[in-house]
Structure formats: structure tokens, C-alpha cells
Amino acid sequence: MAKRIFITGFWHETNTFAQTQTGMDDFRAYQYAEGDALFAAFADTNTEVGGVIDAAMELDLNLIPGLFAGAVPSGLITGEAYEFLLDRTLELLAAAGEIDGVLVHLHGAAVAVGTPEADADFLSAIRRQLPLTPIVATFDLHANLTQGLIAGADALVGYDTYPHNDMGERGREAAHLLHRMLWSDKRPEKVFRKLPFAPPPQVQGTSAEPAAGIMANMHDMETWGGIWSASIAWGFPYADVAHLGVGVLVQGDDIHHVNRIADDLALSIWHQRGNFDAGLIGAEEAVRSAIAAAEGPVILVDVADNAGGGAPGDGTTILSELLDQSAVGAVVVLCDPGAVRTAKSLGTGAMFSGNVGGRADDLHGPPIPLVGEIVFQEPVTYQRRGDYMTGQQINLGDVAVIQSGGVTVLLTEYKAMPFDADHLAAAGIAAETLKIIVVKSAIAWQAHFRAFAKAEIYVDTPGVCASNLKRFAYTRLTRDIYPIADDGVWPAGNS
């Protein structure tokens, strides 16, 4: 008899500095599927659920769908939304009948109003309902891991890559770990180490040093006898929570062996903390050097307005410089439903004259006056082609493209994460032919644009995802964390 595996997911990276809260509308707008719709939404995608679906066929597991809810990274989850998702999940679990195992797909940096460790709370509620059933959870590389989260599952698997192009593979790994537990009746020892270290996402890329070497070392340890799995969660620093920071998780047969490996990994990260430095250049100088570059595209990275990290995606600091310096062949994507409505009422070919961007809050630059021709105006949906979340359907709502001199501004109704050039292609813009491309992303953009970009400049812009963590007023940290403080405290007297 095929084992019956309940599969469910709750995925949100919460930027507690963002000024708008995340409600059920935001989950429904991005990812919400229950029952068989969950399989329809994720089959053949490079996501955890997609990977589990593949593995279930090989391993002869009978998947019983719960729900999967994910929202674009944004502000605190409302108490109502969190309660609804948890209650609905438990309801579906209760209705699922006899269950042999559970797979739970989490982010690990979800914060709800009144529930700072939302992922741990979610997982432990499932555990309470099924105290003896094996549970395997997955988490994002940006998780702020806690002991509570680790305790809620029998084994856990985190993404190993950033940009995250191994989501499908990690889903498969989670299914295999669960299968191993079901057939061997063994559970791994789990050892967790938390570091007082929170590098900004910009320097967490796993294909560049120092993270690349650390991950390679970890993968080597995973091949050692008796080790089931190891993960490093590099943390999401835009969360004012006590459990902020890098976490190391090692799982295997022998507790002493697992302890030693976890300590070695944690210590090697700690000793390299000074190498995770974000080199940033001011907007004026960044735009000047992009214009002066011999060939393009030059990528200007607006990391502080990272729409994939909870920022509104409507920051105007770089756009304002591009217009002031009369850049040519430059493109900026902004989420601005109001300006899109105006453009829609005017129609393609008409002249647009009005303010764009800077509306969601006052942290990402002011609205900027823009005058130009409306060269495109249509609703846009597309399927993600880059190797990150491949196959996912993205809805930008109504889209308008305004051509103002040499600067092209693509305005979207809905906030979406512009990680790849599909945003541009869907509106008739060929990214390869541009001189300057502004991306609102920390690292995820690299998966697509590095293939043809000639240069990249990380720009020191203001916003809720700024790489300079000293810009933020943390109030809930319980110890010094590097580089927010000039040094952290771990392990006592041994750093």
C-alpha cells in the first residue's frame, strides 16, 4: 500500500520594516491553492511542491493535498490571515483521514502580528495534531531559524542556493528523507547552531565567495557517513525579531558526530564574517559610470527597493538620476497602479504627464514627475522562464510603458518580483539591447541577467532592504549581532 503523505505549505518572507501589512488578499493574489488545485498549480515547476510531485511518483507515495499559500515578500502578516491559514490547514489535515507522513513547505522568516515565530508556531500546531507521524519541513535560504522551528519536524531541508534555483531539488530531498524515515523507522539527530551574524542578502549569493566556499564545504560534509543532510540558512535581516541571524542545521545518525560538524560549520562562518562586506556606490556616481560604460547592459542594482524582499518596488532614487543625467537606453520597472490607470485612460500613443513611483511609503524616494509617450498599454501575464521558480505564472495586471527621452519606464498594476527579463519581454522590450537596466533585487536577478550583462553596480539607495543594516532601528534584538553592531557575541570567549 502506498504511504499517504499530507503535503501543505505556508510561505512568506516578512519585512517587518515595510509599512503595509500582508493579508489574505495578498496570498490569494500570488499563490493560493487547495486540494487538487495544488497539484495543478505546481506540477512541472521548479518549486518544492513540484519536486515532491516528481519524487512521489518514483517513491510510490500517495500525496494528499492540504493547501499552499504564498505571498510576495512584504510587511507583517495580519493576525486574521495567519489564523485563517493555520486553521484551514489543520481542518484539511483532520479531513485527510489516516496519514503516514507530512511534508510542510515553509519559508522560515514569516512574522505575523502577535506571532513572531510564525513558521515554528505553524509547524508545532501540525505536530500537536499528529504527535507520532514523521514530519519533514523545507525552508528558504533566508530563514531566520529557531530551535522551535527545528523541534517541530523530524527532519528539515533548506535551499542551498541563492538565487534559489534548487527549490525543486530540495522538495525531492525532503520527500526522500521522509521515505527513508518511513521505511527505516529511524529519525535523524538534529543539531542546530545560531550565529549572532546577519549578512545582508546582497552578499549571500552562493555562487560567489565567501558563501560559495562555505556551501561547498557543507556539501562535502553531507557526503560523510552517517550524515543525512545539512543546511545553512543565511537569514533575512529585514526583520526586527529576537531570532534574527544565520542558522546551521546538521542531521545524522550519531549525535557526537553531528555536533562536531555543526560546530565546525558554524565556526567557519563566524571566522569569515568580516569578508561579507557590501560594496555600495551612490546613485549619482552609479548612473554616471553606467552612462560612461563602453558597452551595456550595465545592471544598476536597487537593492534597497528589492521587491522580492518586502520593498514596494516603486522606489525612484535611480530613476530620478537617470532622468537628470539624460541617460539613453535605460529601463526602470515601477509598481504604480495609479499611474497605470492614468496611462490606460489616455491610451497608447498619447502623452503621459504625471508623477510616478514613491507612493507606497516615504522610504524609497518621492514621486517623480515624468513626461513621455505611452508606447505600450495592456494587461500582462507571463510564465517565468529563468531557472528560478521556472514555470510559475506571474500576473502584472495592467502594464504601461512610458518613453521619456532615452529612459523607458515600465509601470505595473501589481507588485511582482522583477528577477528576470520576462517582465520586459512581455511589454516588447528586448533587455539585451539596452544600455542600462535597473533591477530591484539583491541577488535573484543574477540568475537571468548575468548571462548577458556587461557590468553591475550595487547602488546605495534608501529603503526597507538597504544593504547597510545600520540604517535600521532594531528594537527586539537580545544580543549584539554583526554587522548591525560592530561585532557579535558568539561563542563566548571563542571568537
Q: Are 467 and 302 in contact (CB under 8 A)?
A: no
Cell numbers for 367, please give them: 514621486
Quote the least distance from Cβ 426 to Zn ion, whole Å: 24
List residues binding Zn ion (CB under 5 A): 140, 142
| Least distance in angstroms from the C-beta of 321 to Zn ion | 28
Rama region for 371: left / alpha / beta (φ>0; ψ in -120 to 50; rest): beta
Q: How far is the CB of 235 from Zn ion (least distance, A)?
A: 10
Q: In what order do the strands lie in the sheet with 247-252?
A: 189-194, 247-252, 227-233
Residue placing its CB nearer to Zn ion in the complex, 59 or 465: 465
- Shorter beta-carbon distance to Zn ion: residue 143 or 262: 143
How far is 495 from 491, CA to CA, in rounded Å?
6
Nearer residue to Zn ion within complex by CB, 52 or 109: 109
**Spatial distance between the Cα atoms of 265 and 258, rounded to a whole number of angstroms:** 11
Q: Give phi and psi for 421, each to the nearest 5.
A: -80, 5
Q: Is the dihedral of CA 195, 22, 75, 78 positive or negative?
A: negative
> Nearest approach, Cβ of 204 to Zn ion (angstroms)?
9
Least Å from the CB of residue 333 to Zn ion: 20
Using Cβ positions, the residue closest to Zn ion within the complex turns out to be: 142
Taking the complex as a whole, the smallest distance from the CB of residue 166 to Zn ion amounts, in Å, to 11
Q: Which runs of E-coded beta strand occur in 267-422? A: 298-301, 330-335, 351-356, 368-383, 393-404, 407-412
Nearest to 454 by CA among 299, 286, 292: 299
Beta carbon nearer to Zn ion, 27 or 388? 388
- All cell numbers assigned to 414: 501589481
Is the Cβ of residue 120 or residue 233 nearer to Zn ion in the bound state? 233
Strand ranges (E), 342-454: 351-356, 368-383, 393-404, 407-412, 436-439
- Round the CA-based radius of gyration of the chain to a whole number and report it: 23
Shortest Å distance, C-beta 255 to Zn ion: 30
The CA dihedral of 299, 482, 11, 222, to the nearest 10 degrees, is 90
Taking the least distance from each CB to Zn ion, the nearer of 165 and 404 is 165
Please state the closest distance from residue 331 (CB atom) to Zn ion, in A: 25
**Smaller CB separation from Zn ion, 142 or 435:** 142
Looking at beta carbons only, is 156 or 287 nearer to Zn ion?
Answer: 156
* Nearest CB to Zn ion, comparing residues 269 and 287: 269
Q: Are 75 and 14 in contact (CB under 8 A)?
A: yes
User: Which residue carries 544580543 as its cell?
Assistant: 479
Q: Between 142 and 176, whose beta carbon lies closer to Zn ion?
A: 142
Whether the CB-CB separation of 476 and 240 falls below 8 Å is answered with: yes
Where does residue 135 rank: exposed (0-12), middle (13-18), buried (19+ CB within 10 A)?
buried
State the minimum distance, in angstroms, from the CB of residue 231 to Zn ion.
13
Nearest distance in Å: CB 270, Zn ion: 22
